[in-house]
Amino acid sequence: MRVALILKKLQLIYVPFILLCLLFVSGYSLLHWLLLIEFQLLSIDESIINFWLPLILPWPLLFFYLRPRLKLFCFTKSNSRFIYFVIAVLLLAVPTIMAQEYLNSATGKLTQLESINALLHQPQTKYYQLNQFYIDKKHIGVQRNIEPIGKGNSELRMSLYIAMPIFAKRNESWRVGTKALAWYGKVYEKTISNRLEQQEKEALFQEFIHHSLQEFNALNPDDFVYLDRIGPSSRYTQLLSAAQKSSVYFEGYQTVLMPVNQPFEARNGHKLAWIITWLSFGAILWLLMSLMLKLDETQASKAAQLSLEKPKAELYGFLAEFKPRQGFVITPILLYINSLIFVLMAFASQHFIAFPNSVLLDWGANLRQLVLEQQVWRLLSNVFLHGSLMHLVFNLYGLFFAGMFLEPQLGKWRLLGVYLCCGLVASMASIGWYEATISIGASGAIMGLFGVLMMWIWLGLLPLADNMPLALNLALFVSASLVMGLFGGVDNAAHLGGLGCGLLLGSLLRPTRKAAIQHK
């Protein structure tokens, strides 16, 4: 009997997951190779293909494939099923990410060119060796960039991108009207504190430029084993922008190459071994986790019902939660608006996973200097902007959950008023605390909605015993938002400002909640 139960577990959850893992890793890698490497049908930022898509796609895939199977088992803790789900996502995503890195280097072909002029007559490959070349350090293009990073944008990353034209011979660089066929890239970077005075920042930036140019002047660009062609990425964009500032740039030739100083045979490193190790580790871990589960005999007898119809019904039920209905109108509209603006920004900027600061400022991000220059509308416009896909998803979850509980109690117009008021106060708190931080996101307004709910729970207007899911999600969202602010990149001033405003409004709206209780 015990052996039969073990075999049943393996049949229901272990074998299907292992097969899915192998199919996903190999299938995604095959599509990547066919569409982007072999036939070059698409041109997509490498970070999206190599990292973000392998990290995001397992979530919906496992939601419809693994989640129904997990329901066939008994869990001792309310969050154990979610832990199993998250671990499954990681076991699927990590080897896929590793495989893409290995795929790029392993399938990259090394082309031997007699001179750089032969680049026009050869199929495009990833790696090149040049027999005859001249890298011109005089007709360079330079792109400077300063980007806030770190805890609360507390640091500034200074970057200097230098693009050097590559010619076949030295005398070609002297000819009038000569254009470079390819560019040799060099990048210098340094990080400083963003909390320094403006004069100190400018002095450090000038010092960084001076030292970088000194290093560049001492650089021997001929010292490389082979060249790596950069694909679509933020580094490629910056180096191409640098090349465009050179007098020998021609828009028809946009190949950017980076030097590699190691043998070509060593390009893969230990990537394949790491992939095999992780897959083996995942198979063993998932086996142990599967054996630890206790099978629900009643549910297991219905295992045959795991067909396409059930996931389809779950999908329809999931989507129905976001439809406007009585007592739930403004919340879904706000969800749609935030999502639509993100999609429009993605199409307009050709970014999807994350937006650069320049795009955020163009669309209305909050910044003290600009607000003081009478661009007051930024205090509200930034509430509907999000800096990345994960930022958007996190805030949509918080908004949906808060609105689901709060809108039926407040009514649609009061909810909208609380949302906008808390968002406005959060924006003012941000520019009051941070001098040079770009602030965006609905989290300040959402913290305000949770602040109203916290005040009502504190006043006993929402009995804790009857609203435990609300309390748990409230504690999760608020604590996660504030804790992330301690580790960097999150505007805690806006979070605290929105939360404080929500607590105050929750106290002022106490009669509204009491009236709703009496009505029931």
Q: Of the ranges 54-68, 94-108, 313-327, which one carries the lowest mean pLDDT score?
A: 313-327
Q: Any idea which residue has 């199993």 for tokens?
A: 84
* pLDDT category of residue 468 using cuts at 50, 70 and 90: low
* pLDDT category of residue 507 using cuts at 50, 70 and 90: confident
Query: DSSP per residue over 338-405, as a string?
Result: HHHHHHHHHHHHT--SB--HHHHHHTT-B-HHHHHTT-TTHHHHGGG--SBHHHHHHHHHHHHHHHHH
**Cβ contacts of residue 70 below 8 Å, gap of 6+?**
13, 81, 84, 85
* pLDDT category of residue 129 using cuts at 50, 70 and 90: very high
- At 353 the pLDDT is 67
Average pLDDT over residues 212-236: 93
DSSP 171: G
CA distance 272 to 30: 16
* pLDDT category of residue 308 using cuts at 50, 70 and 90: very low
Phi, psi dihedral angles at 177 (to 5 degrees): 85, 0
The three-point CA angle 458-460-461 to 5° equals 110
Average pLDDT over residues 53-68: 87
For 79, counting Cβ atoms within 10 Å of its Cβ (0-12 exposed, 13-18 middle, 19+ buried), the class is: exposed
Q: Any idea which residue has 């893969």 for tokens?
A: 268
The pLDDT of residue 464 is above 60: no
The pLDDT of residue 42 is above 50: yes
Mean pLDDT of the chain: 83
CA distance 373 to 313: 53
* pLDDT category of residue 309 using cuts at 50, 70 and 90: very low
CA distance 145 to 127: 27
Q: Of the ranges 114-118, 302-306, 359-363, which one carries the lowest mean pLDDT score?
A: 302-306
CA distance 409 to 405: 7
The pLDDT of residue 140 is above 90: yes
DSSP 79: T
Phi, psi dihedral angles at 252 (to 5 degrees): -80, -15
Average pLDDT over residues 83-99: 90
Q: What is the pTM of this model?
A: 0.65
The answer to whether 395 touches 337, Cβ cutoff 8 Å, is no
- Does residue 402 or residue 259 have the better pLDDT? 259
The answer to whether 161 touches 185, Cβ cutoff 8 Å, is yes
Name all contacts of 270-275 with Cβ < 8 Å and 24+ positions apart: 271/98, 271/101, 271/102, 271/105, 271/106, 272/102, 272/106, 274/98, 275/95, 275/98, 275/99, 275/102
pLDDT tens-digit series, residues 14-28:
999 999 999 999 999
pLDDT tens-digit series, residues 142-197:
999 888 776 556 678 899 999 999 999 988 878 878 899 999 999 999 999 877 88
Domains and CATH numbers, the chain: 1-108+267-309 (no CATH), 133-261 (no CATH), 322-513 (1.20.1540.10)
- At 261 the pLDDT is 93
Q: Any idea which residue has 């070509």 for tokens?
A: 264
Q: Strand, coil or helix: what is 486? A: helix
pLDDT tens-digit series, residues 350-366:
666 677 777 888 888 88
pLDDT tens-digit series, residues 383-440:
888 887 778 887 888 888 888 878 888 888 888 899 999 999 988 988 888 777 778 8
- Does residue 359 or residue 517 have the better pLDDT? 359
